[in-house]
Chains A and B, each alone.
Chain A
């Protein structure tokens, strides 16, 4: 299992559109991907869960990757977060 912590820098936080982009990006991978904030972990492949975290600018989220392609997913998604969120 791999883990990645990230502090949101997008002024609007993970709102609907970025949540959609994130879900689209993680769905490329087969491994189990979760996104958590303050102990609440959500399925990162489900848009309602991701939006439900209501992660705002300055808040830290933790992504965990567990499964066959976890290394590739970790690489791609950490890059995605840095570039978009």
Chain B
């Protein structure tokens, strides 16, 4: 058994035959030619063919791995059309009276060197793109493009590095894992492996020869290891881990892409809670219908100064664009109580949970609130953002928020800055708001029930005090009645209501929530598919009848 260590791109276990990817590097000869015009015509024809191939790859990639991964082939087409690149080739053909192959290879090397020498890791990677398009042209010119790996059966693909055109041409069903000797975490192979969610390593010093080709291999993606010719103990241990992971994955995979609809046709939105921009990958990987709670306070907690409008705008815009039209509910600053930020200089309080926090800070420090609202309204022009205000207790607070919002919009309009019209809703997390939900529903676009605070305020039990555990009942009928009432009041006013607290992910209550008519559950990304499973198996009418 040989063990090699690399950098982990994506976790998971892959067991299978190793297939070493053989580059189709063209042997280029320098040949004198007599007719430069004919040679240029031959080059132009080859270029057209290459552009056509790239368009085909773009279409294939678009279907298989999405627009973001496909875009590179559009860029490759532009590279082939680049004036400097073409001028260089033509210049070599005409001035040296040599064949197009030689001119393409020389130009490709020169341009690749220019990128490789750049002081920027991302740009260094682009040298591979230049080589890739040049190889493609050479393949067309010489009429042979026999590159590839043996993928007649599922295999672990091991390569020096893989160009995007090489990865896209591989039959995805036959790829168990990617392991590359070179390449960075930013390389196309790494990006593709993450999209495909298969174990992958980069920067793994493997010998690309018969000592590994065709041998049995095991890739432990999470630990960044590949075993070649594993011994029995390793094989058994890995096989067991793979099976466990596989069972989990299969269950969830079968649920991806399915609509959240019960057996009797009731629909519910399953959204994700996130507390950091890093969670976005998990949101997409778990097939969330949107983001139901984006805790904006992380932007404040990570800084030692008030985040600027621009800093916030960039983050909100990125989230909105990443979710591409799906709803992103961003909760305005909820600081105070257990979440403290030094530069806010909040005074010590006897009873912080009932104290100066969330919307109470925003309404008394309008400059902080306005900065965030400006960023949110501007970012709304880039996606489906919804704004959610926390800790609401009264209509009066909503009126005050509406005044601030009106002045923010007036300012943006006056300054000629583009902004969108986000939905605006409130958290229902105080008993006051729950009891007034019929009135509040007339003023806002949606409700989201924050069960953590609603429970502690309703039961008058401090969640942090472990001595009270025996009195704390998260399923207390008072809470369930309140949720039911809030949902009913929302529907009467024609708005939707969801749950974003921990109770939303409590799977023993999912059926109950469906029976109440809850429109949305926002849970941690990992809970989305397990809850979807319950939704798909539930018949709401039968459940109600059986109660």
Contact = CB atoms under 8 A, between A and B. Distances in A.
Contacts of A16: 72, 75, 126, 129
B243 to A, nearest CB: 39
A84 B342 CA distance: 35
Interface string A1-45: 000000001011101110110011000000000000000000101
B116 interface: no
Interface in B49-102: 71-72, 74-75, 78-79, 82-85
A49 B78 contact: no
Contact of B75 (A11, A45, A47): A47
Contacts of B126: 16, 51
Chain B contact surface mostly: helix
5 contacts: A13-B122, A16-B75, A20-B74, A20-B75, A54-B120
A48 to B, nearest CB: 5
> What range describes how many residues of B lie at the interface?
20 to 34
B114 A52 contact: yes
Contacts of B111: 48
A15 B119 CA distance: 13
Interface string B434-469: 000000000000000000000000000000000000
A19 B114 contact: no
B276 interface: no
Shortest Cβ-Cβ A-B pairs, 6 listed: A20-B75, A46-B83, A47-B78, A46-B82, A54-B120, A46-B84
Nearest to B418: A83
B120 A56 contact: yes
B122 A49 contact: no
Given A16-B126, A54-B123, 18 more contacts: A11-B314, A12-B122, A16-B129, A17-B75, A20-B71, A20-B74, A20-B78, A24-B78, A43-B83, A46-B83, A47-B75, A47-B82, A48-B79, A48-B82, A48-B84, A51-B115, A54-B118, A54-B119
Interface of A: 9, 11-13, 15-17, 19-20, 23-24, 43, 45-49, 51-52, 54, 56
A25 B120 CA distance: 25
B468 to A, nearest CB: 46
Nearest to A45: B83
A61 to B, nearest CB: 15
Nearest to B111: A48
B85 A48 contact: yes
A19 B82 CA distance: 12
Contacts of B72: 16-17
Contacts of A11: 314
A23 B78 contact: yes
Nearest to A12: B122
